[in-house]
Amino acid sequence: MPELPEVEVVRRGLERWVAGRTVGAVEVLHPRAVRRHPAGAADFAARLTGETIGVPQRRGKYLWLPLEGRDLSVLGHLGMSGQLLVQPEEAADEKHLRIRVRFEDAAGTELRFVDQRTFGGLSLHENTPDGLPDVIAHIARDPLDPLFDEAAYHAALRAKRTTVKRALLDQSLISGVGNIYADEALWRARLHYERATATLTRPRSAELLGHVRDVMNAALDVGGTSFDSLYVNVNGESGYFDRSLDAYGREDEPCRRCGTPMRRRPWMNRSSYFCPRCQRPPRVAS
DNA sequence: AGATCGCCCTGCTTGC
DNA sequence: TGCAAGCAGGGCGATC
């Protein structure tokens, strides 16, 4: 389940292994992997061929490869199970290989998009004047972005009539936070997921944002979270941050602060993990 | 018009 | 043992 830290690890891998290389051939093995490319698989392959990859960029969970000398980018999202692998050309195809990008140089490696559940994909888009693929212009800056507008974020939280976990997952307010890191940050901040954002004081909301950053930075240091073999970084190495999770996936296990058994509650077609003692529900549940 | 919810997808796990 | 249901969940688009 790649979230911001995992995607950043992938971006760094692409910067190291793919930037500056010119595309020789593109093979789309599953149409769903390019479903966000409206003109279809053949158009995607044809337009990408011959282009040179610039420095990979990221916002939240999206990453994109600018094409040198063009106002175009290859936009990528890993979805639930996507991987971008740099593999030797002779390596056997992965079972869920969806897209293969070969290069003109003689480095002997190719870029592969592998995705079991096909929630992710690649597509080509024109850039906005500030170099962002146009279809993600609505995605807010993420908390690790130096230009993230903290004051505007706190003001938006106070103004909205919503609950704190919904706000954390709202990619138009803050991007890059998924279910795992939302639960982790809420646990660290001792906040219940249904707490109304309008009741958060500025210091409380700043504290929560600090925990979001801490959790993400900790994951980045270790190279991403992994629960199974699904998440692999750009060179095929798994991350091992999962041992450090304090909330997510810990139903019935003791809270690491107070020992109370952690709980799981269905929430928005997914789950919320929390400590019933440290994270008291708001008096008026929504 | 902003908020909410269903759906997309596959493989592993769970339960009968 | 075998089958089916449950579960994982980001983001888009339909709906209210």
pLDDT tens for A193-214 read 999 999 999 999 999 999 999 9
Of the pLDDT bands very low, low, confident and very high (cuts 50, 70, 90), residue A30 is very high
The nucleotide closest to A268 (CA, C1' atoms) = B5
The nucleotide closest to A120 (CA, C1' atoms) = C10
Section A253-263 average pLDDT: 94
pLDDT for residue A226 is more than 50: no
The answer to whether the beta carbon of residue A5 comes closer than 7 angstroms to any atom of strand C is no
Percent of chain A with pLDDT over 90: 64
Section A131-136 average pLDDT: 92
Contact call for residues A280 and A192 (beta carbons, < 8 A): yes
pTM of the shown model: 0.91
Residues 114-153 of A with CB under 7 A from strand C: 117, 119, 135-136
pLDDT for residue A22 is more than 60: yes
> What does the pLDDT read at residue A64?
96
Q: CA of A268 and C1' of B6: distance in angstroms?
A: 11
Q: CA of A223 and C1' of C15: distance in angstroms?
A: 40
Q: How far is CA A26 from CA A137, A164, A195, A273, in A?
A: 27, 43, 48, 42
Residues of A forming the active site: 2-3, 61, 270
Section A102-131 average pLDDT: 93
Q: Strand order in A109-115's β-sheet?
A: A23-28, A97-103, A109-115, A82-88
Contact call for residues A222 and A285 (beta carbons, < 8 A): no
> What does the pLDDT read at residue A230?
46
> What does the pLDDT read at residue A89?
93
The answer to whether the beta carbon of residue A164 comes closer than 7 angstroms to any atom of strand C is no
> What does the pLDDT read at residue A5?
85
Q: CA of A202 and C1' of C5: distance in angstroms?
A: 45
